[in-house]
Amino acid sequence: MTVLQQYIAKTILASTLLVLLVLLGLYTFMDFITELDDLGKGQYQLGDIAAYILLSMPKRIYELLPIAALLGSVLGLGNLASQSELVAMRAAGVSVAQINKAVMIVAISLMVIAVFIGEVLRPPAEQKAREIQSVAQTGTVGSRSDHGFWTRDGLHFNHIERILPDGRFAGISIYEFDEKNRLRIITKAKEAQYEGDSWTLSDVIQSTIDEQGVQVRSVSHARWKSQLNPGMVNIVVVPPEFLPVWGLMEYVSYLKNNHQAVERYQMAFWMKIMMPLSSAVMVFLAVPFIFGPLRSAPVGGRILAGALVGIGFHLFNQSFQQFGLVFGILPWLAAAFPTFAFAGLGFYMMKRVH
């Protein structure tokens, strides 16, 4: 990489960081105002709100990175153009392709950053943020609804009322069916704790149903073998878009083995695969903005156009994802189409740059 390419890359990265900080500050303030509505709910105080917002920042950075990449690239290259530095580079024999190489270096860097935030920082931070919020407000770890949640494990259908802060289940019911879909055993336990590779149930009441009637027995403890483990519990509690790729792959396999719907989790998986590429495409789009039809426009006009394109991409991406779920479009296609459509737009605009 030449000195000029390093200079261009540093300028774009600095502008992207500036835009990201401004957007992050704006969204953080909005999140703070929203959380104030729940102030005083249970034990939810300002300290809990601050911790929740702080731990939610990786999520916000991850969501804002594509738009920040586009605006930062437009701003950085726009500043170079407004100070005639790009003109001087072109006069010195630097081609648009060479300038584009520097831009793509930034794009690759942002892809790496997006992967690191999305797969390393965001999942545990978001889970911890939700745990702090739920424990402060209700005293338990959040679940899918006020009535607990259901899971399927082969011929077993399990209902869990609450997840305690230490990972134990409270109020668990296990309904076991035979191969003819007849209910055979109902097991209810006060608590369940994961030990080794199975769950230990306490205060168990089990009802066995057969042709002779119903037999009820109660024991203090019992072992329960299940594919459901604490890692799976986090997946059930936390929305799929906040999970790491390997967690989604594991849970998709679990759902397929139990013949359950997997489309929502497959969509989340492919969206996470495409997100780093989306950031790179947004950076790539900045070059035609500077050398194309907007080369004579003021910096403010370029930023406005970049913001409109970034917002348009975000809305189109989210809408097409939901469209794919509703109409049964292949998850990988629904997740990839918006990104490749905007990439095609970028290549078309680049061909018009002279």
- pLDDT at res. 20: 93
From CA 280, how far away is CA 110, in angstroms rounded? 7
pLDDT tens-place string over residues 69-107: 888 888 888 888 778 887 788 788 877 778 888 888 888
pLDDT tens-place string over residues 183-239: 999 999 999 988 878 889 999 999 999 888 888 999 998 998 887 776 666 555 566
- Check: CATH 3.40.50.2300 for 155-226? no
C-beta of residue 276 within 8 angstroms of C-beta of residue 117: no
Evaluated on CA atoms 189, 173, 126, 105, the torsion sign reads positive
Q: What average pLDDT does this structure show over 54-69?
A: 90
- pLDDT at res. 29: 94
Residue 10, Cα to own-chain centre: how many angstroms? Answer: 28
C-beta of residue 75 within 8 angstroms of C-beta of residue 299: yes
Comparing 48-52, 173-177, 285-289, the range with the smallest average pLDDT is: 285-289
- pLDDT at res. 154: 77
Longest dimension (CA), the chain: 94
Q: Strand 213-224 to strand 183-195: parallel, antiparallel, or no bridges (unpaired)?
A: unpaired
pLDDT tens-place string over residues 276-290: 888 888 888 887 777
pTM: 0.71
String of b and e for 223-258 (b: at least 16 CB within 10 Å)? ebebebeeebbbbebbebbbbbbebbebbbebbeeb
From the list 249, 309, 260, 308, the residue with the least C-alpha distance to 119 is 249
Question: Under the phi-then-psi rule, with left for phi > 0, alpha for psi from -120 to 50, and beta for the rest, what region is 93?
Answer: left
What are phi and psi for residue 330, nearest 5 degrees?
A: -50, 130
Strands (E), the chain: 149-153, 156-163, 169-177, 183-195, 198-210, 213-224
Q: What does the radius of gyration of the chain's CA atoms come to, in whole angstroms?
A: 26
pLDDT at 39 over 70: yes
CATH 2.60.450.10 spans which residues of the chain? 155-226
Q: Between these two residues, 33 and 90, which has the higher pLDDT value?
A: 33
DSSP-based helix, strand, coil % in the chain, nearest 5: 65, 15, 20
Task: Give the count of beta carbons closer than 10 Å to the beta carbon of residue 33.
Answer: 9
From CA 248, how far away is CA 231, in angstroms rounded? 11
